[in-house]
Chain A
């Protein structure tokens, strides 16, 4: 070390602060826990929200079981009534797909200088444990199975990209699921995941706001409505609209009185009310 260069008695750098983290700004316990949780999710690949994972896995199971049952019924009926109904069955109405909404371009340009508390995008769990149709049924259930497989593949890709912190590509992958499989549980979750990435990492609170609102309108009492409402508040904050942020946070507390975010929301509301 070139200690010879040092001027005797001259000011020098302070040591690292391994207890409080100075000179970094103070961070409370909840925020610390969140940072560590997200880091561990990325590092160890553990889903951030088991309850959500169960929901998605259950939905996938339902899709696969339904597809299998349909295939079995087709074979059974085809054998019993070979000349009577095959055409009808082949053209049986499939599950209607909604018209895909036009994708909203996420812009890199920042919308505001307002600070945003980073919140991890919801993890979308690919239904890996869900049963798949047997080979005998695969052909007849091909359409449903391939649809599920597509969702699974894209969600896996999106999660991988997110873990690699490739935010834009992850956002596109989530948005792809939301667009192509509109109406599904996966699309709902993917919409919120994409919106979270937009506001947290892509500097697009306006696009995120639209997406959160769309998800909330589709499922006002959905499994992720709490996240959507908090996301809306974050977007208003990023856009510098304090009154809209306050209303969104107040609504969050009214609709989700037992939210785990209560302490943070109340602290932020106090700040907002204090600056009125």
Chain B
């Protein structure tokens, strides 16, 4: 399987980005529509529940739309978007833990929020993502987030440490443990189908 930072499909500041940053709704709509699959993809990497993906993705789009003016084109737009999305997700998860601790977890776990037909997808690819997700969803948040930021977004350990307000050595250790657990679970069909991992 690949290890990648994801495809980057645009140059830093395209006319579309410039127009969207200037408040052109049509341009912003086109841009956000193009970014939405990427945003949803990343959100799902970071949160263990399908039903939260669209709320968080929407919140991330709001942040992106508001923040476009501050995008300076120093890196790719996608990398900038990824950082914003991760930040929104972490903030939302913190807020949720704080405000909604009493909510019944069973309400949403596994719920199919939007079960609508979509574009045809490669079944093999879907299966690979589903298997990966089953394992990823069993990793504790403290390991899952550094692993995704590092191995999917390509962030450095100091950057992750800063983002998650966690010491560098802790991040390094968590990534190592998470990666090992992930690899073992992916290679073990029994484990992949449902074994629970303890917090490490």
Interface residues of A (CB under 8 A from B): 1-2, 5-7, 10-28, 30-33, 35-40, 42-44, 46, 108-110, 112-118, 165, 203, 264, 267, 271
| A13 in contact with B32 (CB, 8 Å) | no
Q: Which of B33, B38, B133, B157 contacts A23 (CB 8 A)?
A: B133
| A11 in contact with B1 (CB, 8 Å) | yes
Knowing that A2-B157, A16-B6, A35-B36 are A-B contacts, what are 14 other residue pairs whose CB atoms are under 8 Å apart, sorted by A's residue number?
A: A5-B176, A13-B132, A14-B2, A15-B5, A16-B4, A16-B82, A21-B40, A23-B133, A27-B37, A28-B114, A28-B117, A39-B58, A115-B112, A165-B59
Q: For residue A43, which residues in chain B have a CB less than 8 angstroms away from its CB?
A: 28, 61-62, 65-66
| B43 in contact with A39 (CB, 8 Å) | no
Q: For residue A108, which residues in chain B have a CB less than 8 angstroms away from its CB?
A: 100, 102-103
A22→B61 CA distance, assembly (Å): 17
A-B contact pairs, 24 of them (CB 8 A): A1-B156, A2-B157, A2-B172, A2-B176, A6-B179, A10-B187, A11-B1, A13-B132, A14-B2, A14-B129, A15-B7, A16-B152, A17-B37, A17-B38, A22-B44, A23-B41, A23-B44, A25-B53, A26-B121, A35-B61, A44-B28, A113-B111, A203-B107, A267-B116
A5 with B179, Cβ < 8 A, contacts A23-B133, A25-B114, A267-B117 known: yes
Q: For residue A17, which residues in chain B have a CB less than 8 angstroms away from its CB?
A: 37-38, 41, 129
A21→B111 CA distance, assembly (Å): 18
Q: For residue B121, which residues in chain A have a CB less than 8 angstroms away from its CB?
A: 20, 22, 26
| A113 in contact with B106 (CB, 8 Å) | yes
A243→B102 CA distance, assembly (Å): 30
Q: For residue A6, which residues in chain B have a CB less than 8 angstroms away from its CB?
A: 179
Q: In terms of DSSP, what is the predominant structure of the interface of chain A?
A: loop
A264→B147 CA distance, assembly (Å): 37
> Nearest-CB distance from A50 to chain B (Å)?
12
A120→B11 CA distance, assembly (Å): 33
Q: Which of A1, A13, A33, A38 has its CB near the most chain B CB atoms (within 10 A)?
A: A13
Q: Which of B23, B51, B61, B66 contacts A115 (CB 8 A)?
A: B51
Shortest Cβ distance from B109 into A: residue: A113
A112→B104 CA distance, assembly (Å): 10
| A11 in contact with B53 (CB, 8 Å) | no
| B107 in contact with A113 (CB, 8 Å) | yes
| B41 in contact with A18 (CB, 8 Å) | yes
| A13 in contact with B33 (CB, 8 Å) | no
A118→B33 CA distance, assembly (Å): 18
| B103 in contact with A203 (CB, 8 Å) | yes
What 0/1 pattern do residues 34 to 68 of B give for CB contact below 8 A with A?
Answer: 01111011111100001101110111011001100
Q: In terms of DSSP, what is the predominant structure of the interface of chain B?
A: helix
| A18 in contact with B7 (CB, 8 Å) | yes
Q: For residue B38, which residues in chain A have a CB less than 8 angstroms away from its CB?
A: 16-18, 21
Shortest Cβ distance from B36 into A: residue: A32
Q: Which of B102, B108, B112 contacts A25 (CB 8 A)?
A: B112
> Nearest-CB distance from A262 to chain B (Å)?
14
A108→B102 CA distance, assembly (Å): 9
A264 with B116, Cβ < 8 A, contacts A17-B129, A108-B102 known: yes
Q: For residue A24, which residues in chain B have a CB less than 8 angstroms away from its CB?
A: 37, 40-41, 43-44, 50, 53, 57
A16 with B45, Cβ < 8 A, contacts A27-B40, A110-B104, A203-B103 known: yes
| A36 in contact with B36 (CB, 8 Å) | yes
Shortest Cβ distance from B6 into A: residue: A16
A28→B119 CA distance, assembly (Å): 7
> Nearest-CB distance from A274 to chain B (Å)?
12
Q: For residue B1, which residues in chain A have a CB less than 8 angstroms away from its CB?
A: 11-14
| A13 in contact with B147 (CB, 8 Å) | yes
| B111 in contact with A115 (CB, 8 Å) | yes
A38→B51 CA distance, assembly (Å): 17
- In chain B, positions 1-20 with a C-beta closer than 8 Å to chain A are 1-7, 9
Whether B126 sits at the interface, judged by CB under 8 Å, is yes
A212→B87 CA distance, assembly (Å): 36
A15→B154 CA distance, assembly (Å): 10
A9→B85 CA distance, assembly (Å): 30
